[in-house]
Amino acid sequence: MMEWQISDQDIQAVEEILLPHGAQFPEDARNVIRCWHSTNVAACPGSGKTTVLLAKLKLLADRMPLENGAGICVLSHTNVAVNEIKNRLSDYVDRLLSYPNYIGTIQSFIDRFVTMPYLRNVSGRNVQVVDGFTYAQHMLSKIECNKKYSALKYIIELNFKPGNQFKTKIDYIQALYIRGDGDLCIGKQHKSLASAKKLSAEQYKKLLIDILKEEGIIRYQDAYTCAQIAIDKLPTEYTDFFSSRFQYVFVDEYQDCNNIQRQAIDSIFDSTKCVVFKIGDSDQAIYNSEEDTTPDWVPQSGFLSLMTSCRFSQEIADVVCKLKRDDKGIVTLVGETGVKPVLLIFSPEKIDKVITGFISALEAYGLSDKNGIYKAIGAIRSENASGLKIGSYWSEFDGTAKKKSEYNYWTLVDEIVRSLSNGKLYKTEQIVRKLLCRVFHYTGIRNPTSGKDYTPATIKKVLEDKYREPYRQWMYEMSTLQKNDRQAVNQVVRKKINELLKINNPETTDIFADLPEHFLDESAVISYTNLLEKNVLIDPTRGRRIVFDTIHGVKGETHDATLYLETDRKGASDLSRILHCFGVGKQGNSTLYDYSRKLAYVGMSRPKKLLCVAMQAKTYEKAKKVFEHEWEIIDLRDGTEA
């Protein structure tokens, strides 16, 4: 494939659309924009990779339609690309978002073009993904009604004892699974129930196939496994078709792809027949837990770099780059500002001084805008965790808090839109149950067994027992919506809730007419969410909002100032595990060391203007003054600067 020649005038035209007036792309960004062959792109935090991607999409849009009716494919883990195109390339929306182009989530693409076609081929019918409890009901029914599962039935009856762990046989069956070695296992028990060659294990595997073929349903976790099988069985003609349909393929945040997603992308798109760009930062691969076996992405030789950060000062960059695996420098457009990162040293008995120390640092550096973005972040939010956690620094922190969106209809609808856009039907189903609970609450429909309001857990059983088919149909319709927007979801939700209620009460017309105005108040969504938003400390001196969050929760964000909070996991702190990055000691063998490094890299690369790190005294003392040169040390133990 011939590469296009991108002129300086082409790049200047893109700069005028996407960059602030007078701003220009740095040279490394220009190199990526000019590249039109398959390659990997390693991008540092704040490098503007989304803007570079938009620049390439704008240049492609100028050349559409492409040769032989080919299109472009843009894949990420969220629909951020779609939103950015709508917001920043509004004049090109129709060209970029219409056939033959595909712009959406990686998982939705794999489900649509790989897993579901394979399952339809295997089962001879359309297949629906269902939750584990519904699936276990089907399993139990088949086990008890068919002798060909007699060995499986025997082992279940032999081992199932009603108790705290498994209250019902359905709960027990739901916890059954086939381990990697083929053994039949239950829950978290290390010892298997039956080895891979035993008849009961074979019958369990056969049962899953029978349910797929005879009833057309599959569990979420099995759909994941089927994707692996489907990828292995992809015919050459199928992959050739995709490599010709999509001439240009962009995979954003590639470091967060799991093994199956990576294999799918490599199998579907032949990088010798179409142009494949894999864009990411392997040091930001934090979505897989520290126990995950997915290897970190290593860009292939000849990769391009986006190592000029537009986000932070050189002082922050010099600290952050020490946390990179390759320890390569990051150059910033901002340059040096004279503001060093701040290290707040505290003793356990004076941990409450950390937040006031952060506020004092904001004051000292003139960060007084009450509309600025100030966040305090840590790795551990669980209130039950031992040692340091986010709540250790601020007693008001609620580790279980999510926005109380169930108290407004439209915020719940928006949550449904987001989960559908991210290809996560299981989350959609959970939100729908929350929504039903609120509707029933306001209309006085209560659980007849307990006389109390329904909860998402108790309403689940009712939906499965009484409304299984219409509820399954509802979820199916949600998953096949042509447009995942507020209006479309609202129409389906209202229609389906009324249909469900009509089953018991045919005289039901529109239950929404009986709901209170405040619950349905569309204009109150933002203000009500902010009002109920937990984990926000209002600084009494300036009215600044300091938001407490997890490192995972702020990935991809940019802050004015960030306070990184030291937290403990498995007997040691995250900061003690990264001291080797700064020249103290050696990296331990546990995977937690590298995981902690990546968490720190993500967390400490969020701020534009000021990075603060709260470090307990014992960690600081172990560091042997290694932080003295590049950090401003503020000792909160006696209130003095070091």
In the annotated binding site for ATP, the residues are 43-50
Concatenated DSSP letters of 181-249: TS-EEETT-SS-SB-TTSHHHHHHHHHHHHHHHHH-EEEHHHHHHHHHHHHHT--HHHHHHHHHHEEEE
Binding residues: 43-50
Cα distances from 249 to residues 4, 40, 60, 246, in angstroms, run 16, 12, 12, 7
C-alpha triplet 591, 593, 597: angle, nearest 5°: 120
Q: Which of 340, 344, 345 is nearest to 319 (CA)?
A: 340
Give the phi and the psi of residue 382 in degrees, each rounded to 5.
-60, 130
For residue 100, say if its preceding peptide bond is cis, omega within 30 degrees of 0.
Answer: yes
DSSP 166-185: -SSHHHHHHTEEE-TTS-EE
Q: Which residues pair with 33 in a beta bridge?
A: none
Phi, psi of 343, deg, nearest 5? -110, 115
Kindly write down the DSSP assignment for every residue of 14-46, as one continuous string.
HHHHHS-TT----HHHHHHHH--SSEEEEE-TT
What is the rounded distance in angstroms from the CA atom of residue 196 to the CA atom of residue 213? 23
Please give the Cα distance from 442 to 52 (Å, whole number): 48
Residue 286 Rama label (left phi>0; alpha psi -120 to 50; beta):
alpha
Q: How many residues belong to the chain?
A: 642
- Give me the phi and psi of 297, to 5 degrees please: -70, 130
Q: Scan for tokens 């032999």, then name that residue.
A: 158
H-assigned helices in 278-421? 314-320, 353-364, 390-393, 409-421
Angle at 116 between CA 113 and CA 121, to 5 degrees: 110
CA pair distance 322, 330, nearest whole angstrom = 10
- In this structure, the dihedral spanned by the alpha carbons of residues 90, 95, 101 and 104, taken in order and rounded to 10 degrees, is 10
What token pair was written down for 398?
């609620």
> 3-state class of 623 per DSSP?
coil
Taking Cα atoms as reference points, which of 608, 549, 583 lies closest to residue 341? 608
